[in-house]
Chain A
Amino acid sequence: MKPSDPSITWLEEKPLGLAERLYLPLFVSGLSTTARHLVSPKVTVSFPEQRPKVGNPLIYRGVHRLNRDPEGRVKCVACFLCATACPAHCIDIVAAESPWPDREKYPESFHIDELRCIFCGMCEEACPVDAIELTSLLDLTGKSREEMIFDKEKLLSVYDMTKDAEPMKSASMGCTP
């Protein structure tokens, strides 16, 4: 767009009035904001001693988990759609023929590099069987890079850890059981 574009409306800055030129009224209004926040209730918490309150765990995008089906098997069918959707290329899956007669394919290994992940939630969106979900766990730490690459067992253990506090979204959102 050029400066001469007719769709641009050019405005002149208003000349300063007496109050602005005196400076004092602006000084008072600024300080009064500071004073108001000094006495109003605090919104920050002393992390990690205090835990922040997650507004809606259903839509929070924290650590991933791999859900289990009613029989306790990994729900994932190794379709690679999460890995395809992932903009950070942090999901690595090795598919194999499933050992169960009612399923065809399952992930032999499933790795998420939590350090690469940007927590965009695209994997959750892409999953056709609601197997991968983002929990409301927000403090993710590790002592090494290797430790931050979560394998299938670890992702399933996140599910076991969080399933009571955060039931599978499928039930409340009308997705696959």
Chain B
Amino acid sequence: MPVVIVDGQEIEIGADERLNCIEVARRAGKEIPHYCWHPGLSVVASCRMCLIETGQRDAATGKITMVPKLVPGCQTPVKDGTVIVTESPLVKDSRARVEEALLIDHPIDCPICDKAGECLLQDYHFQHGQPERRADLQPFHSRKRDVGPTVTLFVDRCIMCTRCVRFTREISGTAELMVTSRGAKEEIDVFPGHPLANKLSGNVVDLCPVGALGDKDFLYQQRVWFLKREANVCGGCSAGCSIHTEHNQDAVYRLKPRENPHVNTWWICDEGRYGWHHLHDQSRILDAARKAASPSHRGSGATPATETVEWADVVVKLRDDLKTAGRLAVAVSPMLTIEEAWMLCAVARSIDPEAFLSLGFVPVKGEDETFPGGFTIRAEKCPNRKGVEEVLALYGAGGHSWNDLVAHVAAGKADAAWITAGYPGPWIDTAVADAFANLKQLVVQDLFDSPLMRLATWRLPATGFAERAGTWVNVAHHAQSFRQAIRPPAGVWPEGRLFWNMLGRRGLYDATAVRQQLAASSPAFTALAGEMPATGVDLRIHQLA
């Protein structure tokens, strides 16, 4: 095994690992500061912040020969016997000078800069900069430039690391951003008439180590130090990207990609990034309500009386109503977690042992779109179709799709239906909903009003992605567990809690306990037993082995 010496510490690396000095130093617990280097982008070694001393140990004699000048750590690959010195006076002095040079052109408008608090320039200045300024610098206001529908460029805050430029060239493949002028007059810009408008554009804001690129959606909304973050999974499509939900006082402020080499690497798409606004939509359904169940009311056009039902009563009355109605059909939404889906199936079969179970509506928009950097946006706009299908297979309903359920109901084979939804936008039209018009009981659990919701005898609110806990299985059978980031609006029970109570289980809904039971009870889910790693597991791991 090759051995690299980092500040006197011997670090073993894999024989076929290709690492640079920054990555090896990180394994030794040493952070080499860097701006322009990013593991997902090409190396330019332009910021000079990662300059370090390196050398080579002679394998035969053990004698160390140092390179006489500093080298950029990002650009220097390591091999057996490489010696790295990250904290010598020479290195420290170099870092302080780089910081000083960057700050000469910087507006130092940290109080009004949205990046303050998570800014590398700020952090490195405190860690590696000089305690006093030698230049007579006055804070000034940065020029602002509109570079696209989602991003604002604060021209003077930029330190010209060109991460954003490389991102648009290498990952999104759209190359909107460029560097204009040269030397001290360098600026990031776009060509006239070609704004930064690709589907991954929000990532340049995450990449920016300083406050030069601002997310219009988040600009001025909140200071970053007020935000709390919860590791979560994006529910926007079946790719299931790992994200951080950043929130404060039960309000989501932004979503950020979470590094996950198995799923999304470092990126997320704009659709997912800005796909949380529906959580705070005023038109969400918040009360559990029950309508007089006689079909004649609906035929006459008169609105039957609805009564709001307490959640504790929903648990009892819903079961009674469905039991009285007779043959049950249940649509298990692909927005539900596998824990919720499993409990819902159990509830349904406990009400009607012959209940018809099927997958809920699967929204599909366009086609899968893969970018040059390998990132793929899936056409299937739901996070857990694979997981729900696996759960349904446990109940012998593996192949049933939403269309099968509609046909089943339209053929009059069911007296009651329970439709779980939870989609962020409109999903069903009147023509499809009409198939459900003549049921004795229709339970609809959704975020927003819909033609189907208007027919429902039981209207139940659903919860959004950040408000639920559980496990989603993405299109590649990769399962990721996550916890609840924010509480749902006051009075709304997450689906899991309702199903948990309807199963007669005591105490608070515990998604982890349900997941472990599920893993223990079925070979298809064995991979989910025990603690789940933050990056998730492949559901087929035992089948592959």
Contacts and interface: CB of A to CB of B under 8 A. Distances in A.
Contacts of A80: 223, 226
Interface residues of B, number: 12
Contacts of A103: 141
Contacts of A77: 111-112
Interface in B142-168: 142, 144
Interface string B220-236: 11010110000000000
A128 B223 contact: no
A88 interface: no
Contacts of A128: 111
Interface string B312-349: 00000000000000000000000000000000000000
A169 interface: no
Given A96-B220, A105-B220, A129 B141 contact: no
Q: Which interface class (under 10, 10 to 19, 20 to 34, 35 or more) fits A? A: 10 to 19
Given A104-B141, A104-B144, A81 B111 contact: yes
Contacts of B67: none
B541 interface: no
A97 B141 contact: no
Nearest to A79: B111
A105 B221 CA distance: 11
Contacts of A78: 112, 220
A95 interface: yes
B220 A102 contact: no
Contacts of B226: 80, 84
A128 B110 CA distance: 10
A104 B156 CA distance: 13
Nearest to B225: A84
A8 B221 CA distance: 56
Interface in B72-111: 109, 111
Interface of B: 109, 111-112, 141-142, 144, 219-221, 223, 225-226
Given A78-B220, A104-B144, A105-B112, 7 more contacts: A79-B111, A80-B223, A95-B220, A96-B220, A103-B141, A104-B142, A128-B111
22 contacts: A77-B111, A77-B112, A78-B112, A78-B220, A79-B111, A79-B112, A79-B223, A80-B223, A84-B223, A84-B225, A95-B221, A96-B220, A97-B219, A97-B220, A102-B141, A103-B141, A104-B112, A104-B141, A104-B142, A104-B144, A105-B112, A105-B220
Interface of A: 77-81, 84, 95-97, 102-105, 128-129
